A and B are shown apart, each in its own frame.
Chain A
Amino acid sequence: MSAVVEHDAGENGKQDFSMNSITVSSEAAAGKKPRSRLRLPDSRAWLAAGQWLVTLLLCAFLIVPVVMSILAGLTVNYFKGISSGFTLRWLGEVWTQYHGSVFLSLEVAAATLFITLLTGVPAGYVLARSKTRLSRVIEEFLVLPIALPGLASALALLVVYGGFTMFRMSVAFIVVGHVVFTLPFMVRAVAAVCASSDLRTLEEGAASLGASFMQRFVTIVLPNARPGIVAGALAVLTLSIGEFNLTWMLHTPDTKTLPVGLADTYASLRIEIGSAYTILFFIMTMPLLVAMQWLGVDATGQRSAAKKRGAASATKSITTP
């Protein structure tokens, strides 16, 4: 506040070029200051307090249920409360009943990641490089499954491939669904990085030295795109492990992934088992989340905002001249 007032006084002084007016104006400012001190900090302090209150309440809103479900999964009888004692019994029960779904989820996630890496990385690279209208159209189509609700994609998959019973019954069907859903995240993450680093120049340099396309792709494009690939891979894994909307429609009794099992327990079993299962889910996703926080990836599959802006301005500076 005081810095602003002094700045004011300085400007007044500049206008008049006289020592006198500076003192006068700063006196006037000093005279004004106490009044504004009385008024402004008051309302501002209220605003700040309100802001803090909202933030902390939001935090509580988000975290309290998590803590509660962890506690509920560990108590003997949640209806009686924590006083009934802690136990690992529920966790054990969930593990014996549902460990299959945990492994299945991991397998599906790994397979999904493998396919998205194989297809998404080249796609992101090509889309970032080419400037034609066709590539924009293709990009729009590739990103469409993100905008489309999972339910709609699942219905579409069922209508088209539901007739192939062997395929319909196998885990591959779920993997296909997950690929449809997660591929855009990988493509976007890779495309953003490819567009931001000055790949074209590097590649031209390598080409002029006689490097073949494969050599360039492996030694230049992949290392440069690595941050995007890692970000995309983390997003794909997290999304695939947590994916429910599609999977619920596509699953068969033999192909239950973790979220499907979660929905089952929530719907039919006691709250302790549901909570214990949720703890299992937390344990599985925690490493991924920590890695994402650590690398500054946000869960929408792009790198942190600062990097994104960097990427955006970089593409602009490349395309404008």
Chain B
Amino acid sequence: MSSLGATVMLSAAVTAATLVLSVIAGLLLARREFAFKRTLLALLTFPLAFPGVVVGFMVIMLAGRQGLIGALSLKLTGDRWVFAYSMSGLFLGYLYFSIPRVIVTVMASATKLDASLEEAARSLGASPWRITRDVVLPALSPGLIAAGAVCFATAMGAFGTAFTLATDIDVLPMTIYTEFTLNANMITAAGLSIVLGIVTWAVLALARSVSGSAVAASA
């Protein structure tokens, strides 16, 4: 049961972080024209087809024992930061997994925005921050709810990343897996996966009824 709580917390955190970062980047990409925009976009969406295992390996590359962050921190602080095999590594992995997906959604709904609304707000003296809060975000919200739900559901069920990084990570998919393979405890495993399925399905259904559009996850 504790793993369920941890999984939900982790998924919620990943969803929030992904949404914030992707909205910032997605708005920039959708609104502006600049050189290399296509290249940048291609780079950002390139990891879309990575399975969870590969994402896990990417995290190891970044924050593992021979990773980039470790090498950098060793030079800067004299300390080698290795956090790939912990909850924060998993957080990084899910972020890696979700960001491309959510950026695509944000860009799709940002191109639908009515620019005249923002101009009106600006001519009435609203600050950029207020425009973002009162005009842009409400207009984006259906897309964001849908994307957030997908993000949450995917993070709940993602097994490959956890499997690659797992040494002492206690998330629901890993619990199911160990119950099934090591303890051969079919009933617990089945029960937990039903719980997992219900939670993800409920989140997706809720988002669909709120945003009114087709919501679907992919893992």
Interface residues of A (CB under 8 A from B): 4-5, 7-8, 40, 43-44, 47, 50-52, 54-55, 58-59, 61-66, 68-69, 72, 78-79, 143-144, 146-152, 155-156, 159, 184-185, 188, 238-239, 242-245, 248-249, 259, 262-263, 266-267, 271, 274-275, 278, 281, 285, 288-289, 292-293, 298-301, 304-306, 308-309, 312
Spot the interface stretch: B51-59, B74-82, B133-141.
Answer: B51-59
Please tell me the number of chain B residues within 8 Å of chain A, measured between CB atoms: 76
CA distance A239 to B29 in the complex (A): 26
> CB-CB < 8 A to A266: which residues of B?
53, 56-57, 60, 164
B66 A79 Cβ-Cβ under 8 A? yes
Chain B residues within an 8 Å CB radius of A243: 51
Residue of B nearest to A62 (CB): B47
Residue in B61, B101, B111, B160 whose beta carbon sits within 8 Å of that of A245 in the complex: B160
Choose from B45, B56, B180 the contact partner of A155 (Cβ within 8 Å).
Answer: B180
Q: Is B156 at the interface (CB under 8 A from chain A)? A: yes
Q: A62-B99, A65-B61, A146-B218 are in contact. List 20 more A-B contacts (CB 8 A).
A: A43-B128, A58-B44, A61-B62, A68-B62, A143-B216, A146-B216, A147-B197, A148-B197, A151-B193, A152-B196, A185-B218, A245-B160, A245-B219, A249-B180, A263-B53, A275-B61, A299-B48, A300-B150, A305-B105, A312-B213
Q: In the complex, which residues 160-211 of chain B have their Cβ closer than 8 Å to any Cβ of chain A?
A: 160, 163-164, 173, 176-177, 180, 186, 189-190, 193-194, 196-197, 200-201, 204
Nearest 10 CB-CB pairings of A with B: A149-B157, A305-B108, A242-B51, A152-B193, A65-B58, A299-B48, A55-B25, A65-B61, A244-B160, A245-B159
A contact residues around B101 at 8 Å (CB):
299-300
Instruction: Pick 9 A–B contacts, CB within 8 A, sort by A.
Output: A4-B123, A7-B123, A40-B128, A51-B28, A65-B58, A146-B217, A150-B219, A259-B53, A267-B164
Give B124 Cβ to nearest chain A Cβ, in Å. Answer: 10
Query: Which of chain A's residues have a CB closer than 8 A to the CB of B100?
Result: 62
Which residues of B are found within 8 Å of A7, using beta-carbon distances?
A: 123
Residue B9 lies at the interface, judged by CB distance under 8 Å to chain A: no
Q: Is the CB of A248 within 8 A of B159?
A: yes
**Residue in A closest to B49 when the chains form the complex, CB atoms:** A238
How many Å lie between the Cα of A275 and that of B59 in the bound state? 13
Chain B residues within an 8 Å CB radius of A306: 108, 111
Residues of chain B lying within 8 A (CB to CB) of residue A184: 216
Chain A residues with Cβ under 8 A from B200's Cβ?
147-149
Q: Is B114 an interface residue (CB 8 A)?
A: no
**Contact A274 B49, beta carbon cutoff 8 Å:** no
Q: How far is the CB of B112 from chain A (nearest CB, A)?
A: 7
Q: Nearest residue in A to B105 (C-beta to C-beta)?
A: A305
Q: Is the CB of A44 within 8 A of B128?
A: yes
CA distance A281 to B109 in the complex (A): 32
Contacts of B103 in A (CB 8 A): 58
Are B96 and A51 touching (Cβ within 8 A)?
A: no
Instruction: For A58, give its contact among B21, B109, B112 (CB under 8 Å).
Output: B21
Chain A residues positioned under 8 Å from B153 (CB to CB): 147
Instruction: Kindly identify which residue among B29, B108, B216 contacts A55, using a CB–CB cutoff of 8 Å.
Output: B29
Q: Which of A4, A275, A300 has the most CB of B within 10 A?
A: A300
Contact of A259 with B189 in the complex, beta carbons under 8 Å: no
Q: What is the minimal beta-carbon distance from A32 to any residue of chain B, in angstroms?
A: 10
Complex Cα–Cα for A148 and B199 (A):
9
A298→B217 contact, CB < 8 A: no
Does B113 lie at the interface of the complex (its beta carbon under 8 Å from any beta carbon of A)? Answer: no
In angstroms, Cα B104 to Cα A300, docked, is: 10
**B59 and chain A: residue at smallest CB distance:** A65
B117 at the interface (CB under 8 A from A): no
Residue contact A274 to B45, C-beta cutoff 8 Å: no
| CB within 8 Å for A62 and B196 given contacts A55-B25, A300-B216 | no
Residues in B neighbouring A62, C-beta threshold 8 A:
43-44, 46-47, 96, 99-100
Decide: B176 and A155 in contact? CB cutoff 8 A.
yes
Q: Residue of A at shortest CB range from B119?
A: A4
A228 to chain B, nearest CB (A): 14
Check A58/B128 contact, CB under 8 A, given A146-B217, A147-B204, A301-B218: no
Rounded to whole Å, the gap between the CB of A306 and the closest CB of chain B is: 8
A45 shortest CB reach to chain B, Å: 10
B68 at the interface (CB under 8 A from A): yes
Kindly report which residue of chain A lies nearest to residue B154, judged by CB atoms. A149
Nearest A residue (CB) for B180: A155
| Contact between B43 and A152, CB atoms less than 8 A apart | no
B16 at the interface (CB under 8 A from A): no
Interfacial chain A residues near B127, Cβ < 8 Å: 43
Asked if B27 is at the interface of the complex by the 8 Å CB criterion, the answer is yes
Task: Provide the bound-state CA to CA distance between A5 and B43, in Å.
Answer: 39
Q: A40 vs B129: C-alpha distance in the bound complex, in angstroms?
A: 11
Residue among B25, B53, B99, B197 with the highest chain A CB neighbour number at 10 A: B53
Interchain CA distance A47-B177 in the complex, whole Å: 45
